[in-house]
């Protein structure tokens, strides 16, 4: 079964008199447990697409189905629940709360999932352990390196055990060595049985994946599936 | 997300933004302090004055030559009038049918001496012997009142105020002592109960003597005022009418002509007081309004300045699963915590100012319950609007838009 499905998804921005077509009718499906890379030049609509897939934004036209449900039919309550339990989102700029330490940042999704006290602490600590940051739990984001911040963000995205992980240029702000490390983490996450979609500019990073979607000027120009485990 | 969770998170956020929290509280405090202290002072004053005026008794009025003078013209007009004399008082005493007491009073200022000690600028009051009926401000602390016999025989007897008793006699029993009032020698027969001060002027720096004695020393050619107490509140109006009619006729005027003398009662005092202080109140209202506006603007501003940073925070929270109501709850709790602590601090500080004003200045201040209530409501109201409104707007944004706000 397709975990997600886009049907003529478009996004337009009105900039004064000019209409920007950030996405111009995108159609594709992603199956359970696929590892997908989204590629394309800057401004081709990759982030716009990811934000729609992550329910952080809504398309101006078209239909986006997540787990078989049209997200237009969901209210704030249900969308929040999706973002909280079903989707882990990793941003290029990390988007950590600057005044909270690593553990508090990782705990945040659990706060809204209604998990409290010792259980929450334990889950957050073990998520940090999985990304190798168990000795950095009390550090604030500005006391961590870029790679460490992104690993905190990965721990946060995984802490509520979502089935879908979306990463928008997770390595964009990191050097290639650190980027490689992050990609190995994503690979491991995919191996655990999750669906992973990652935006990247780098072909060598896309090589980790099974399938590459290429965007150009908001349109899907190619969809290459490759056999093998990446 | 439970309430406890929200409260805990709110407290964390406030701690993390100490400066912003402190400034917001400061803004609240300014507004609330202004409301509480200014209301306390003006209301205290108002209440005090009305009490003072009304304690004259609701059925007491006085007649004199001038009345309330409010302009030069009035003064020159009044100065040409015939004086009021003690025989006018006697006439009213004999002919009024509805009066419980008719008491002539005349005033002078002298120094009083006893055994080398001196009380300066004492208010000397020649007074009719019926004065004890006028109210508790003439109550005796020790000794006795001036008597009718003393009035009839122009005795040099005096009842002194508590300030004089203290200044001149100290620990010595004043009753039966001989003191000098101006150049004359008087027996002290009684000491008045302490009356306290009005707006910083003591009313206990006073010597009472029989009106006849007063006139034998200072002459009977000065104008007196005549205080009249009606037999009961029911006949108060009628008693005033009767007194005015009698006095008009006695002074050769027609009943329908306006009186050529002044009538003062608690209402005229109160009207005068209200007129005199209305400008003062306007000023106070302006001060309060200004501080409320300033405090409110400070709060709003700080909260709005924080909003871009907070919008990104809201975006992050929504991206990981916060519902709109979770966001609202968090900001509501933060705003309530800030504004109520600012409000309580403001109330305490305002009350402290009121107490200090009371102790250190002649203005009587009293903390009014309603001002505390208004102050707190204002603080919480402004706080909630300033704190929650931006959060409400931000929480309506798509998460991606909220995330787009960089610090
Ligand atoms: N909020 C916005 N308002 C107006 N135009 C926007 C907005 N966000 C994106 N766009 C436009 O939409 C197009 C697609 O933007 P998007 O961010 O999706 O590109 P991208 O493929 O992620 O690029 P990059 O690789 O640089 O991150 C661009 O032309 C961009 O200018
Ligand atoms: Mg992008």
Mean pLDDT of all residues in A42-66 = 95
Percent of chain A with pLDDT over 70: 98
Strand B184-192 relative to strand B178-181: parallel, antiparallel, unpaired? antiparallel
Distance A198 CA to ligand 2 centre (A): 11
From the CB of residue B91, how many other CB atoms can be counted at a distance below 10 Å?
16
> Does residue B274 have a pLDDT over 70?
yes
Asked if A85's CB is within 8 angstroms of B319's CB, the reply is no
Residue boundaries of the structural domains of chain B: 3-52+272-403, 82-260
CB neighbours of B94 closer than 8 A, spacing ≥ 6? none
Distance A120 CA to ligand 1 centre (A): 36
Residues A219, A26: contact at Cβ < 8 Å? Answer: yes
Q: Name the residue among A54, A111, A160 with its Cβ closest to that of B1.
A: A111
Asked if A85's CB is within 8 angstroms of B321's CB, the reply is yes
Q: From CA A178, how far away is CA A10, in angstroms rounded?
A: 34
Cα end-to-end span (Å), chain A: 22
3-state helix, strand, coil in chain A (%, to 5): 40, 30, 35
Q: Lowest-pLDDT range, A34-38, A70-74, B45-49, B92-96?
A: B45-49
Mean pLDDT of all residues in B236-258 = 91
Atom 18, ligand 1: which residue's CA is nearest? A45
Atom 30, ligand 1: which residue's CA is nearest? A43
Asked if B399's CB is within 8 angstroms of A95's CB, the reply is no
The secondary element (H helix, E strand) that includes residue B139 is none
Distance A151 CA to ligand 2 centre (A): 19
Q: From CA A108, how far away is CA B322, in angstroms rounded?
A: 9
Atom 12, ligand 1: which residue's CA is nearest? A22
DSSP B84: P
Q: Which of A11, A23, A45, A56 to mutate to test the interface with B (most CBs of B within 10 A)?
A: A56
Distance A49 CA to ligand 1 centre (A): 10
Is A22 near ligand 1, meaning CB less than 6 Å away? yes
pLDDT at position B94 is 93
pLDDT at position B6 is 77
pLDDT at position B232 is 87
Residue-averaged pLDDT of chain B: 85
pLDDT at position B113 is 92
Atom 22, ligand 1: which residue's CA is nearest? A47
Distance of alpha carbon B345 from its chain centroid, rounded? Answer: 25
Structural domains for chain A: 2-225 (3.40.50.300)
Q: How confident is the model at residue A227 (pLDDT cuts 50, 70, 90)?
A: low
For residue A107, the chain B residue with the least C-alpha distance is B320
Residues B217, B184: contact at Cβ < 8 Å? Answer: yes
Q: Which of A53, A54, A80 to mutate to test the interface with B (most CBs of B within 10 A)?
A: A80
Reported as a single tens digit per residue, the pLDDT across A114-150 is: 998 899 999 999 999 999 999 999 999 999 999 999 9
> Does residue B136 have a pLDDT over 60?
yes
Q: Lowest-pLDDT range, A13-17, B239-243, B275-279?
A: B275-279
Query: Any idea which residue has 């950095």 for tokens?
Result: A136
Collect all residues from A whose CB is shorter than 8 A from any CB in B: 51, 54-58, 76-77, 80-81, 83-85, 89, 91, 95-100, 104, 108-109, 111-114, 116, 156, 160
Query: Any idea which residue has 């490390």 for tokens?
Result: A181
Nearest ligand, CA A42: 1
User: In degrees, to the nearest 5, what angle opens at C-alpha B263 toward C-alphas B51 and B104?
Assistant: 85
User: In degrees, to the nearest 5, what angle opens at C-alpha A172 toward C-alphas A169 and A174?
Assistant: 135
> Does residue B3 have a pLDDT over 60?
yes
The larger pLDDT score, comparing residue A154 to residue B133, is at A154
Residues with CB under 5 A from ligand 2 (ion): A 47
> Does residue A230 have a pLDDT over 50?
no
Asked if B17's CB is within 8 angstroms of A80's CB, the reply is no
Q: How confident is the model at residue A48 (pLDDT cuts 50, 70, 90)?
A: very high
Asked if B2's CB is within 8 angstroms of A116's CB, the reply is yes
pLDDT at position A202 is 83
Contacts of B3 in chain A (CB under 8 A): none
Reported as a single tens digit per residue, the pLDDT across B336-366 is: 888 888 899 999 998 898 888 888 877 777 8
Strand-pairing partners, residue B200, are: none
Atom 3, ligand 1: which residue's CA is nearest? A13
Q: Name the residue among B5, B17, B315 with its Cβ closest to that of A116.
A: B5
Best substitution site from A44, A197, A215 to test ligand 1's pocket, by max atoms within 8 Å of Cβ? A44
> Does residue B1 have a pLDDT over 70?
no
Distance of alpha carbon B150 from its chain centroid, rounded? Answer: 38
Asked if B324's CB is within 8 angstroms of A85's CB, the reply is no
Q: How confident is the model at residue B307 (pLDDT cuts 50, 70, 90)?
A: low
Strand-pairing partners, residue A165, are: A88, A196
Reported as a single tens digit per residue, the pLDDT across A170-214 is: 988 888 888 888 888 899 999 999 999 999 888 877 888 899 999
Rounded to the nearest 5°, which phi and psi values hold at B317? Answer: -65, -40
Mean pLDDT of all residues in A92-107 = 93
> Does residue B56 have a pLDDT over 90?
no
Asked if A57's CB is within 8 angstroms of B398's CB, the reply is yes
Reported as a single tens digit per residue, the pLDDT across B77-133 is: 888 888 888 889 999 999 999 999 999 999 999 999 999 899 999 999 999 998 988
Q: Lowest-pLDDT range, A89-93, A108-112, B22-26?
A: B22-26
pLDDT at position B54 is 64
pLDDT at position B57 is 61
For residue A54, the chain B residue with the least C-alpha distance is B319
Residue-averaged pLDDT of chain A: 92
Mean pLDDT of all residues in B318-331 = 91
Q: From CA B176, how far away is CA B168, in angstroms rounded?
A: 13
Nearest to A171 by CA among A187, A158, A159: A187
| This prediction's pTM | 0.71
Ligand 1 atom with least separation from CA of A50 = 18
Q: From CA A224, how far away is CA B202, in angstroms rounded?
A: 101
Helix (H, G, I), strand (E, B) or coil at B155: coil
Residues B101, B127: contact at Cβ < 8 Å? Answer: no
Cα end-to-end span (Å), chain B: 27
Asked if B321's CB is within 8 angstroms of A113's CB, the reply is yes
Mean pLDDT of all residues in B152-160 = 94
């Amino acid at each position: 079964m397709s975990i997600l499905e886009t049907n003529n998804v478009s996004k337009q921005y009105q900039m004064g008199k000019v209409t920007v077509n950030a996405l111009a009718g995108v159609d594709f499906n992603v199956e359970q447990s696929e590892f997908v890379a989204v590629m394309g030049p800057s401004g081709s609509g990759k982030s716009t697409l990811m934000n729609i897939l992550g329910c952080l934004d809504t398309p101006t036209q078209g239909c986006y189905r997540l787990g078989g449900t049209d997200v237009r039919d969901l209210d704030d309550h249900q969308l929040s629940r999706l973002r909280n339990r079903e989707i882990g989102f990793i941003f290029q700029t990390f988007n950590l709360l600057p005044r909270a330490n690593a553990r508090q940042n990782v705990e945040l999704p659990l706060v809204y999932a209604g998990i409290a006290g010792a259980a929450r602490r334990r889950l957050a600590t073990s998520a940090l352990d999985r990304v190798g940051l168990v000795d950095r739990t009390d550090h604030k984001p500005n006391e961590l390196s870029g790679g460490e911040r992104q690993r905190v963000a990965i721990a946060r995205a995984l802490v509520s055990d979502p089935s879908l992980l979306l990463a928008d240029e997770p390595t964009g702000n990191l050097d290639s060595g650190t980027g490689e490390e992050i990609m190995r983490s994503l690979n491991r996450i995919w191996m655990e049985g999750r669906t992973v979609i990652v935006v990247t500019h780098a072909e060598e990073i896309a090589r980790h994946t099974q399938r590459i979607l290429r965007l150009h000027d908001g349109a899907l120009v190619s969809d290459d599936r490759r056999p093998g485990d990446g | 997300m439970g309430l406890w969770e929200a409260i805990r998170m709110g407290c964390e956020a406030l701690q993390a933004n100490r400066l912003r929290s402190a400034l917001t509280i400061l803004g609240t405090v300014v507004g609330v302090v202004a409301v509480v202290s200014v209301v306390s002072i003006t209301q205290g004053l108002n209440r005090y004055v009305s009490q003072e005026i009304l304690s004259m008794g609701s059925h007491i009025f006085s007649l004199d030559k001038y009345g309330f003078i409010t302009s030069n013209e009035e003064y020159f007009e009044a100065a040409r009038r015939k004086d009021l004399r003690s025989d006018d008082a006697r006439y009213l005493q004999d002919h009024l049918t509805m009066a419980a007491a008719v008491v002539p009073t005349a005033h002078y200022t002298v120094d009083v001496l006893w055994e080398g000690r001196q009380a300066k600028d004492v208010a000397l009051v020649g007074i009719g012997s019926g004065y004890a009926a006028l109210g508790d401000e003439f109550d005796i602390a020790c000794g006795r009142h001036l008597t009718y016999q003393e009035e009839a025989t122009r005795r040099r007897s005096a009842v002194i105020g508590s300030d004089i008793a203290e200044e001149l006699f100290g620990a010595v029993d004043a009753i039966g002592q001989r003191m000098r009032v101006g150049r004359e020698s008087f027996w002290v027969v009684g000491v008045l109960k302490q009356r306290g001060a009005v707006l910083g002027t003591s009313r206990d720096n006073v010597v009472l003597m029989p009106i006849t004695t007063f006139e034998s020393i200072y002459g009977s050619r000065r104008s007196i005022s005549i205080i009249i107490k009606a037999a009961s509140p029911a006949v108060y109006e009628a008693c005033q009418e009767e007194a005015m009619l009698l006095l008009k006729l006695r002074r050769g005027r027609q009943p329908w002509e306006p009186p050529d003398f002044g009538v003062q009662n608690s209402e005229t005092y109160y009207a005068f007081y209200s007129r005199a202080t209305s400008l003062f109140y306007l000023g106070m209202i302006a001060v309060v309004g200004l501080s409320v506006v300033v405090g409110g603007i400070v709060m709003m501003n700080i909260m709005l300045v924080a909003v871009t940073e907070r919008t990104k925070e809201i975006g992050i929270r929504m991206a990981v699963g916060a519902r709109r109501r979770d966001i609202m709850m968090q900001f509501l709790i933060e705003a309530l915590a800030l504004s109520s602590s600012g409000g309580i601090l403001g109330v305490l500080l305002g009350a402290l100012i009121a107490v200090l004003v009371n102790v250190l200045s002649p203005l009587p201040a009293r903390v009014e319950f309603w001002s505390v209530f208004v102050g707190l409501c204002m603080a919480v109201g402004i706080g909630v609007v300033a704190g929650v409104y931006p959060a409400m707007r931000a929480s309506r944004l798509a998460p991606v838009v909220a995330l787009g706000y960089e610090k």
